[in-house]
Chain A
Amino acid sequence: MTIPGSELEIHETETPVEDDSVVSVAGRSPTQLAIARFRADKLSMISFVLSVFIVLCAIAAPILVLLGVLHPNDFHQELLSDDGVAPAGRFGGISWDHPFGVDPGAGRDLLARLMLAITSSLTIALTGTIFTVIIGAVLGIVAGFSGGFVDAVIGRIIDLTLSFPQTLMLLALSGPVVVMIRQDVADFPGFGFFTNPDLANGAFVIVILAAFGWPPVARVVRGQVLSIREREFIEAARLLGASRRRLYFKEVLPNVWAPVLVYVTLLVPAYISAEAAFNFLGVGIKPPTPTLGNILADSVSYTSADPMYFFLPGALLALIVVVFNLVGDGARDALDPKSHR
């Protein structure tokens, strides 16, 4: 069994390849065409603008807290009704000072808490996506390019990973792994910040998302690589003596970014929703640090006293997920002109 590319090692010391001498041709690149298609789609553009707004909110929230504009942790017992639980006034205590009302039991400003929640939920979802895509892309490229034994081994690892019940592993590992992150990982120099419970809990959620989320990415990338590796420019790079790493990351990777990008835009909303579900099961960042999940989990106890506190975060979460999904769908349609919708 010969592994394609195994003969490369011999030439590795030869002169590096110059491949940046691509002649620019008049006309539009596939990327420009895709962007034009995306912009022509109204729904995609609207959701893109909304998603940018959501991301800006997420970035602005911690800054506004530092500047003293938002007060997510100030208690306002005076805004609660006489029973000390439900907010006084209609619709969860909406007022000019608190446009989204206050949370039951504590009277904290819900707008501030929700904005900060978007920050933490998006951070977890994005970091989880980045790790998922890195693992998936690297293993997919290696599997697709190496073929043979390596491909078979990675294929089995994918099957193995997919056969694990993810939610059950999440629950079962949360105790021990969070302890491990807070004690053992935090002992490494430079990782001391993991003693912070929020960071340790968040890191655990990210680990689980990435550890069980990468197989589909690897499969998609592998499929792409299988068709790319027979193309002439790979042959050319190989003949010029490109190293294997160069082939993987400089020649192949730029050509698989389109499906990866589509996956990224669809993973982010899936992970936002997963983070919320994890919190409902008691895993993830704990209050008082707000996340969309732990606000919703907290609101479960107040469904009859303050339904607004339950429906508002739920609707916000659904809105964010819909918007990101629409951007993902738009990106897929724009990048793959063959898809008919």
Chain B
Amino acid sequence: MLAYVIRRVFAGVIMLIVMSIVTFALFFASPIDQASFICGKNCSAAQKAQTAAAMGYDDSFANQWVDFAKGVVQGRDYPDDPELRKTAPETIVHCDAPCLGYSRERGDTVTNLIKDTFPVSFSLAISAFVLWIVGGVLLGVTAALKKGTIIDRGLVGLSLVAYAFPTFFVGLVLYKFVAIKWGLTDIPRYTSIAEGGVGGWLSSLTLPAITLAVFFMAAYVRMTRSYVIESFQEDYVRTARSKGLRERTVTFKHALRAALTPIVTMAGLDFAGLMGGAIITESVFNYPGMGKLAVRASSDFDLPTTVGLVVLLAAFVIVANIIVDLLYAVIDPRVRLG
């Protein structure tokens, strides 16, 4: 088990390195000149070269990546100029490890920007996650147990329709109509626990969490249903029944346990993806999370923030993959890690 974990973590780190190199290569090849962006339109060639040197953009692709990787491990200074450090230390921004870069547009380190926005995205992700897992799995199991009845058909039909509406449409209906036009709820505005207490925090998350959860819930109802139905046809369920176990034990201990394993996998990965910000939902409700940060970063061509976010989100997904595989072994007795 421990050997497996170590091997997976090692593979994950390698994956992250490769992935950050690919990201750098993609953005490095971009025809947009970063230095001229930072120093503005009326910038002389000399000024531009100076800016590029200060930010490290004149360096080769490999060196820039090495600087980035070093920053993640040990932190770095912006601009990294020994001369300047002696003459004007106050102009230098130090970025502690893990340093993901420095955003000129925001005038802050990417790590700080992420620290500010992460709680919003995480709150949104966790509240939507609870909604969709509880709702999706319960309804899915209900549909499977009532297979063929009107309840089953209704649930499957509803989830099909819910699945068809794009997230931004659901969000806009909730925001522009339910909250603003019809005034059924307060106009959603993100409130942290520190500002509004747990109650204020939860109620500020209601509409965006529903928006985010609808799509996933629809998918999970259908998925859970088909896994549970499939699981009831397995031999071990027949064995359990012929042993004379009560139907309740057969359902919950044998059929559902096996059926839920793939759902744990999916849920873990979906949650990891959302933790890095639900770009569309945050845009609709104008919530200051990582998704919104990403939107602003790409509209401002704020490359350091974008690269930092991409690498961080990939790290989330890679870590989630490892955790999910370990959970798999705990839930499903058939799985042996080797």
Determine how close the nearest CB of chain A comes to the CB of B280; give it in whole angstroms.
6
Chain B at the A interface: SS class = helix
Per the bound structure, the CA–CA distance linking A194 and B314 in Å amounts to: 32
Interchain CB contact under 8 A, A281 and B314? no
Interchain CB contact under 8 A, A326 and B160? yes
Interchain CB contact under 8 A, B279 and A163? no
Per the bound structure, the CA–CA distance linking A310 and B317 in Å amounts to: 35
- Cross-interface CB contact of A325 among B160, B176, B295, B321, cutoff 8 Å: B160
Interchain CB contact under 8 A, A165 and B32? no
Which chain A positions have C-beta within 8 A of B167? 277
Interchain CB contact under 8 A, B310 and A318? no
The residue of chain A having its C-beta at the shortest distance from the C-beta of B279 within the complex is: A167
Interchain CB contact under 8 A, B163 and A277? no
The residue of chain B having its C-beta at the shortest distance from the C-beta of A321 within the complex is: B164
Which chain B positions have C-beta within 8 A of A248? none
Against A, the Cβ 8 Å flags (1 = close, 0 = not) of B277-293 are 00110010000000000
A152-170 residues with Cβ-Cβ distance < 8 A to B are 156, 159-160, 162-165, 167-169
Per the bound structure, the CA–CA distance linking A173 and B31 in Å amounts to: 11
Which chain A positions have C-beta within 8 A of B317? 162-163, 165
Which chain B positions have C-beta within 8 A of A273? 164, 166
Among the stretches A50-58, A174-182, A219-227, the one at the interface with B is A174-182
Max chain B C-beta neighbours (<10 A), residue from A168, A269, A307, A319? A168
In this assembly, does A303 line the interface, its C-beta being within 8 Å of a C-beta of chain B? yes
Interchain CB contact under 8 A, A163 and B32? no
In this assembly, does B169 line the interface, its C-beta being within 8 Å of a C-beta of chain A? yes
Which chain B positions have C-beta within 8 A of A339? 226
Which chain A positions have C-beta within 8 A of B279? 167-168, 171, 281
Interface size on B, residues (CB 8 A): 48
In this assembly, does A172 line the interface, its C-beta being within 8 Å of a C-beta of chain B? yes
Which chain A positions have C-beta within 8 A of B301? 175
The residue of chain A having its C-beta at the shortest distance from the C-beta of B314 within the complex is: A163
Which chain B positions have C-beta within 8 A of A310? 172, 176
Per the bound structure, the CA–CA distance linking A109 and B49 in Å amounts to: 53
- Cross-interface CB contact of B280 among A281, A319, A341, cutoff 8 Å: A281
Per the bound structure, the CA–CA distance linking A341 and B283 in Å amounts to: 37
The residue of chain B having its C-beta at the shortest distance from the C-beta of A340 within the complex is: B229
Per the bound structure, the CA–CA distance linking A173 and B297 in Å amounts to: 11
Which chain B positions have C-beta within 8 A of A169? 310
A256-305 residues with Cβ-Cβ distance < 8 A to B are 269, 273, 276-277, 280-282, 296, 300, 303-304
A167-222 residues with Cβ-Cβ distance < 8 A to B are 167-169, 171-176, 179-180, 183-184
Interchain CB contact under 8 A, A165 and B19? no
- Cross-interface CB contact of A175 among B160, B298, B313, cutoff 8 Å: B298
Against A, the Cβ 8 Å flags (1 = close, 0 = not) of B255-271 are 00000000000000000
Determine how close the nearest CB of chain B comes to the CB of A280; give it in whole angstroms.
4
In this assembly, does A147 line the interface, its C-beta being within 8 Å of a C-beta of chain B? no
The residue of chain A having its C-beta at the shortest distance from the C-beta of B222 within the complex is: A329
Given the known inter-chain contacts A179-B32, A326-B160, please indicate yes or no for A160 contacting B19, CB distance below 8 A: yes
Chain A at the B interface: SS class = helix
Interchain CB contact under 8 A, A277 and B166? yes
Interchain CB contact under 8 A, A160 and B276? no
Interchain CB contact under 8 A, B176 and A304? yes
Per the bound structure, the CA–CA distance linking A165 and B279 in Å amounts to: 10
In this assembly, does A314 line the interface, its C-beta being within 8 Å of a C-beta of chain B? yes
In this assembly, does A17 line the interface, its C-beta being within 8 Å of a C-beta of chain B? no
In this assembly, does A317 line the interface, its C-beta being within 8 Å of a C-beta of chain B? yes
Which chain A positions have C-beta within 8 A of B298? 168, 171-172, 174-175
Max chain B C-beta neighbours (<10 A), residue from A167, A303, A322, A326? A167
In this assembly, does B309 line the interface, its C-beta being within 8 Å of a C-beta of chain A? yes
- Cross-interface CB contact of A160 among B18, B27, B164, B299, cutoff 8 Å: B18
Determine how close the nearest CB of chain B comes to the CB of A59; give it in whole angstroms.
23
The residue of chain B having its C-beta at the shortest distance from the C-beta of A292 within the complex is: B166
Given the known inter-chain contacts A164-B314, A273-B164, A303-B177, please indicate yes or no for A340 contacting B280, CB distance below 8 A: no
Per the bound structure, the CA–CA distance linking A173 and B294 in Å amounts to: 12
Determine how close the nearest CB of chain B comes to the CB of A170; give it in whole angstroms.
9
Interchain CB contact under 8 A, B32 and A317? no
Interchain CB contact under 8 A, B313 and A179? no
The residue of chain A having its C-beta at the shortest distance from the C-beta of B162 within the complex is: A318
B215-249 residues with Cβ-Cβ distance < 8 A to A are 226, 229-230, 233
Determine how close the nearest CB of chain B comes to the CB of A263; give it in whole angstroms.
16
Interchain CB contact under 8 A, A176 and B294? no
Against B, the Cβ 8 Å flags (1 = close, 0 = not) of A308-341 are 0010001001110110011000000000000111
- Cross-interface CB contact of A168 among B32, B164, B310, B318, cutoff 8 Å: B310
Per the bound structure, the CA–CA distance linking A190 and B302 in Å amounts to: 34
Determine how close the nearest CB of chain B comes to the CB of A301; give it in whole angstroms.
10
Which chain B positions have C-beta within 8 A of A281? 279-280, 283, 295
- Cross-interface CB contact of B297 among A156, A172, A321, cutoff 8 Å: A172
Against A, the Cβ 8 Å flags (1 = close, 0 = not) of B156-194 are 000011011111110011001100110000000000000
Interchain CB contact under 8 A, A168 and B309? yes
Determine how close the nearest CB of chain B comes to the CB of A45; give it in whole angstroms.
17
The residue of chain A having its C-beta at the shortest distance from the C-beta of B293 within the complex is: A168
In this assembly, does B306 line the interface, its C-beta being within 8 Å of a C-beta of chain A? yes
Interchain CB contact under 8 A, A160 and B22? yes
Interchain CB contact under 8 A, A280 and B168? yes
The residues of B with any CB-CB pair to A shorter than 8 Å are 15, 18-19, 22-23, 26-27, 30-32, 160-161, 163-169, 172-173, 176-177, 180-181, 226, 229-230, 233, 273, 276, 279-280, 283, 294-295, 297-299, 301, 306, 309-310, 313-314, 317-318, 321
List the 6 shortest-distance A-B pairs measured between CB atoms, nearest first.
Answer: A176-B30, A321-B164, A171-B298, A318-B164, A165-B313, A303-B176
